[in-house]
Structures are given as structure tokens and as C-alpha cells.
Amino acid sequence: MIAKQTNQKAWFMVLPVFLVVAFSAVIPLMTVVNYSVQDTFGNNVFTWVGMDWFKDLIHSERFHAAFLKQLMFSGIILLIEVPLGIMIALAMPKKGWGVPVCLISMALPLLIPWNVVGTIWQIFGRVDIGLLGHSLASLGFDYNYTQDPIAAWITLIIMDVWHWTSLVVLLCYAGLCSIPEAYYQAAKIDGASRWSVFRYIQLPKMQRVLLIAILLRFMDSFMIYTEPFVITGGGPGNSTTFMSIDLVKLAIGQFDLGPAAAMSLVYFLVILLLCWVFYTVMSNIGEESSNGGK
């Protein structure tokens, strides 16, 4: 690592970014903290309730359920998307006409507005008019995502895999492309097996991008809102009510500002903790590999 020049005036270059982000981040955050200790019946009349909302929240079944569902969802999609993404990235062509075709068609789902993704799958999964639902129904499966919780979960997971695996693929592909051809030739001369090429050449090179991929996928799946909202609306029953959906139901649907604010804060703290752990791991691995490379 090259030592950077110390220059406090650099703050002036960062200042515009700092101000804009602070305006959108700090004021709302302060407001959320203020709401979380008060009760309101509208018209800006607030009464102090102390930590009651937090107590209610921590002991509420609904919160536990939403939190568990959230963790489960994030866990499942990571377990599917990461190995699948690596596999596809390894199989992708390195040159020729296949490269742009792959890149463009794979990036396409990432650029579809999230509620349109929801709409696509809502239509695709319907038994009466959707290809997936209709095919499953005619094959004899009892599939109906608006009534059966398991079908709803499967639909959401396939939807997320469809939507986001490409991100993992593209990241891994970028990592793989940075491996010089000479490495592979050396491995060939040594007679290395396919597995050891992957384990000792490709995986270490992908390590950093893979961490970025896991970080982004985990965070984004942890705050997923729009797609399940459009597809299932949190149902059937409460089976797909993830944290964000529950939060918006509480805050905008029932206008319970206090409980919603308390939930926001706990949600935010969990995200902050995870973010910090991932970031620390990521920057430490980055430092090791950049030191080790010299």
C-alpha cells in the first residue's frame, strides 16, 4: 500500500457528498429516534412513552416471526445464488460472440424496475394466464401462490434467483477475467485437476468480488420490499411478511408511528452490525491479498 498524503483540505472535496447524504440520512434518522419514544394521535401531538415501544417490539411474536422469515429468506437465496452464480461464471465463454450475448441478457433482469419484476412473476406464476403456473397445473402439481404458503415461498425464491443471480455471475466473471492466461498454462503443465485449478487459482482470485457479491446480496435481500409486496402482498396469511413489508404495513397502513419507528431502529441496528462485520472482513481480506501480492 502506498502511504497517502495527509491533507485536511480534502474535506472540502467530500463536503458536497457529505451534506447531501447527511440531509437525507441524518434528519430522517433523528426523526425516527424521536418517534420511537413517543405516541401520537396525529396533528403533531406527541406524548412521551419512554421505552415502551421497544419493550413491546422485543416481546412481540410478530416481530420475531418477521425477523426469522427474513433471515431464512436471505439464507436460502444466498445458498442458491452464490454456488449457482459461480458455476455459471465458470462456464461462461471468455471470448467471441458469446460474451456480449451473455453479458447483455444476464444484465437485463437487473435493470427492470422492482415492481415490474414483481408483476412479471405475478403474471408468470398465475395458474390461469401464466406460463409457469399453467404448465405446473397441467403437469398435475397443486400450485397456487396466492393460497399455499409453500408455493408463495418457492415463487419468491425463484423470482429472487431470477432477478439477482446475474449480479453474482457478473461479479465472479469480472474476477475470473483478471486471471492471466499464464496461470492456466502453468496448471496444465503441472497436470492439475479441474478441481485444483478452481480451488487454488480461480477461487482465490474471486475471493474479493465474491465477498462484495455476498455483501450486496445479503443486504439487498434483507431489505427486500417491492417484489414480495407486488407478488404476494405478504400473504397468504402472514407467511411472506418480511421485515420491510411488516414495517410499511405498520407505519403507513396503520399509522402507528411509534412502534414503526422502534422497529425501524432495531432493524437498522441489525443491518449496521452486519454491515460492519462484512466491511471489516472485506477490508482485512483486501489488505492481506494486496500485501501478499508483493
Residues 68-87 contacting other proteins, CB under 8 A: 87
Could you say whether residue 102 binds other proteins (CB under 8 A)?
yes
Considering only residues 212 through 251, tell me which ones interact with other proteins, judged by CB under 8 A. 212, 219, 222-223, 225-226, 230, 243-244, 247-248, 251
Contact stretch for other proteins (CB under 8 A) within 4-12, 75-83, 144-152, 182-190: 4-12
Could you tell me the smallest distance in angstroms from the CB atom of residue 195 to other proteins?
13
Largest interatomic CA distance in the chain:
77
Could you tell me the smallest distance in angstroms from the CB atom of residue 44 to other proteins?
5
One-letter identity of residue 234: G
Would you say 28 or 75 has its CB closer to other proteins? 28
Residues 6+ apart with CB under 8 A from 189: none
Contact stretch for other proteins (CB under 8 A) within 22-30, 75-83, 149-157, 180-188: 22-30
d(CA 51, CA 74): 30
Contact stretch for other proteins (CB under 8 A) within 30-38, 145-153, 185-193, 196-204: 30-38
Could you say whether residue 65 binds other proteins (CB under 8 A)?
no
Would you say 121 or 153 has its CB closer to other proteins? 121
d(CA 35, CA 204): 47
d(CA 232, CA 229): 6
**According to CB under 8 A, which one of 143, 175, 217, 228 is a site residue for other proteins?**
175
One-letter identity of residue 29: L
Q: Which residue has the cell 431502529?
A: 265
User: Using CA of residue 89, residue 90, residue 91, residue 94, what is the dihedral sign?
Assistant: positive
**According to CB under 8 A, which one of 208, 235, 238, 239 is a site residue for other proteins?**
208
CA–CA distances in Å: residue 175 to residues 101, 109, 279: 19, 21, 19
d(CA 84, CA 62): 33
